[in-house]
Amino acid sequence: MFLLVYLFVFAGALLAEVQLDGRQTVGFYLRAAGGDLLHALPVATLAGAIWVAIAYRFNQAIIDTVTGGRDVTRQEQPRLYNLLENLCISRGIPMPKLKIIDSASLNAFASGLNPQQYSVTVTSGLLDRLDDAEMEAVLGHELTHIRNGDVRLMVIAGIIAGIIGFFAELAFRLFFRPGRSSSRGGGKNGSAALVFIIALVLIALAWLVSMLIRFALSRSREFLADAGAVELTKNPDAMISALRKIESRSELEGATSAVMEMCIDNPRRGFANLFATHPSVQNRVQALVKLAGGHDPGPILTLADTGASPSHDAGLNT
């Protein structure tokens, strides 16, 4: 993905060379853009590093602002706190922060870029609807994302995709704004027009590939996190039951796509599912049945009969 940033810079250099002189050959433009790229490498690298550093420092605060997540203590949520603490103690994992979003939707996510930032956020709806075994499975899923470095990987991948997407939109707005003249260096010849098209295709390709890589990473990581939850809890049925309850009830109203990508389930789908960040619940359940020996109760059409107050017996004693 970092290489895609440099591909984007090369495409931008091609556009700039065409704008400066529209009467040269394709070979001239390619050589000139290559030289521009070499000169721009330090600047592009520094700009990317600054962008990552800003996100590294403020990403959790931004997520909390967008979602309305708030820190909770053991005194406020003893059931949730002790379930997570027991999982951490059993595997020697540092305890992440716990956060709750006041929402009726059923979802959860892990976030953070370092041990000081790591946190697990759950919705109040999830806490109300899942029993202790199911809640433990969800917490195990999110802990696995932290243990595997997924949260760091996905945040950085999102940052890089954001850089490419921002400048791609800027380039298209700049070169396709109404009333813009064709070239400051006079009318373009055929070679200049071809290079102009090539540059735009490279920009679009860099954006598309960055998104596909990002989403492919996310999809594979969800399967691994489900497996990690089973490893931690030794209860594949609880993970399956939790996924079935979450299914079709996970949309966080007002959440950005970047936040939904971090969640245990993201119901939003793109074109032909190429831009789906998560495998379907059905596929995840099938994997747990096949590889972990779980039992699938099938889709849960209503939670009316499963919304009783969850048992608070498990996990209350550390």
Active site residues: 142
Nearest C-alpha neighbor of 228 from the set 87, 53, 108, 57: 87
